[in-house]
Amino acid sequence: MVRDYALQAEWGGAAGTAVNRPRIGLYRPWRASMDEGWTRWLLERYEFEFTSVYNHDIIAGDLRNRFDVLIIADIPAGTILDGYAKGTVPPRYAGGIGSDGVRALDEFVRAGGTLATWNGGSLFAVEQLHLPVEDVVADLERKEFFMAGSLVAMEVDPSHPVMSGMPENGKIFVSRSPVFTTGEEFEGAVLAKYPKAGTVLLSGYLLGEKHLQGYATAVDVRHGDGHVILLAMRPQWRGQPFGNFRLVFNAALYSASVAAAAPDNLAFWQAPAAESAGDTEKGNQR
């Protein structure tokens, strides 16, 4: 391919790591989600074997005996929890996973499963599983912080399996994405973060850049015997950011055996000190 398309590339000396094929489930709400659709397309396009998981599948529980990895794409918490209101659709399509489904997901992770999430899905996981992670921009007004449809810079820990193959200075697409920091009870690893200094914005519009600097954009949270992957980004946005597809693939392969061998790079992350509210910044545009 390099020769046929006259691409610039160099051979990497490091060999890949053999992993057991995980049993992957992709959450598919009855209330249609474009982001779930693009995730499903991507997994099918690159020939991943997976199962679409519906509300009743999650509510039924016993998830750990059926799956190693469950994926929740950029889906609002309300859609996941409540779905369509009763009486607006045929009964089988009404409702979401509710509290029973949340309990089943919690049991799945605590029993050694991996829950891989991004953007809205990651916020759902943080809130409903009570993870020691906080979205630092959640309560900011739009005049203080606004980030929709932008390319931004991130610093990566490529030693972690979910970041395998990424450059140390990467680029991601974000759109109304959370910005994470870790709490005192946090166990796990921060996989990528925004630069502490310099320009974060690469293309698009960003208001309140200071609210990004030094904060986390990808986190691996240990929860019981399992893991929750939080990607505060859109890694497969409309099938376009090819350089970030590997984050979806790596997360889908991050089962118990791979997670057990993941290194702890404690030097990579130090939670930024909380700052008092300052003056409103002007937006940056590129």
Structure tokens at 247: 């984050």
Q: Could you give the 3-state DSSP secondary structure of residue 134? A: strand
pLDDT tens track for 180-226: 999 999 999 999 999 999 899 999 999 999 999 999 999 999 999 99
Looking at the structure, give the CATH architecture of the domain made up of residues 24-272: 3-Layer(aba) Sandwich (3.40)
Structure tokens at 185: 């009870």
- Tell me the chain's radius of gyration from C-alpha atoms: 19
Q: How many CB atoms lie within 10 A of CB 60?
A: 13
Q: How far is CA 265 from the centre of its chain?
A: 19
Structure tokens at 130: 């009570």
Name the residue with higher pLDDT: 57 or 1: 57
pLDDT tens track for 126-152: 999 999 999 999 999 999 999 989 999
pLDDT tens track for 46-85: 999 999 999 999 999 999 999 999 999 999 999 999 999 9
The pLDDT assigned to 263 comes to 82
Q: How many CB atoms lie within 10 A of CB 28?
A: 21
Q: What backbone phi and psi angles, to 5 degrees, belong to 282? A: -80, 150
Name the residue among 181, 155, 132, 157 with its Cα closest to residue 263.
157
For the chain, what are the domain ranges?
24-272
* Helical spans, DSSP H, in the chain: 34-45, 55-59, 77-81, 98-110, 120-128, 245-252, 256-260
The pLDDT assigned to 279 comes to 46
Name the residue with higher pLDDT: 9 or 117: 117
Report the chain's mean pLDDT, rounded to a whole number: 92
Q: What backbone phi and psi angles, to 5 degrees, belong to 94? A: -85, 155
% of residues, the chain, pLDDT over 90: 81
Please give the angle made by the CA atoms of 197, 199 and 202, to the nearest 5 degrees: 145
